[in-house]
Amino acid sequence: MIYLLLKALISGAIVAIVSEISKRYPGAGALVASLPLVSVLGMIWLWRDKPDIENMAAHSAATFWYVLPSLPMFLLIPVLLKQGWSFWLSLVAGCVLTIALYLAMTWIGPRFGLKL
C-alpha cells in the first residue's frame, strides 16, 4: 500500500509542477508536459513490479502507437479556442477526437500486425 501511495504522490507531483510552471511560462510548461515522464515512470513502476523484457518491450512499443492518435487533440483544441469555443467544450471535443482515434487504432493496428 505504501508503494502505491509513493507512485501516486510522485506522479501527482509531476502534474502539479507542470501546472505551476505553465502559470508563468506556458511554453516551458508545455515542454515539461510533453516530456514522456508519465511513460518513463510507468515503465519504471512496471519493471520494478514485473521485470520481464518481453512485457516491457511490448509495453513500450504499444505506448508509441497509442501516442500517435493523441496528438491531433493538441491541434484541435487551440483551433477551437481561437474560433471562440469555450475551454471546456474545446477540451471535450479534443477528448472525443482522441477516444475516436484510439478506437480506430485498436481496430486498425492489429490488421497491420501491431500488438496493442
- Indicate whether 87 and 116 sit together in one domain: yes
- Indicate whether 57 and 20 sit together in one domain: no
- Indicate whether 61 and 41 sit together in one domain: no
Residue 3 cell numbers, joined: 508503494
Residue for grid cell 497491420: 112
- Indicate whether 43 and 57 sit together in one domain: no
Give the domain extent around 66.
53-116
Q: Name the pTM for this structure.
A: 0.76
Domain count, the chain: 2
- Indicate whether 114 and 76 sit together in one domain: yes
46-93: pLDDT as tens digits: 999 999 999 999 999 999 999 999 999 999 999 999 999 999 999 999
- Indicate whether 103 and 66 sit together in one domain: yes
Of all residues in the chain, what percent carry a pLDDT higher than 70?
100
Residue 63 cell numbers, joined: 505506448
Q: Please state, in angstroms and rounded to a whole number, the distance separating the CA atoms of residues 39 and 42.
A: 5
- Indicate whether 94 and 63 sit together in one domain: yes
Residue 78 cell numbers, joined: 487551440
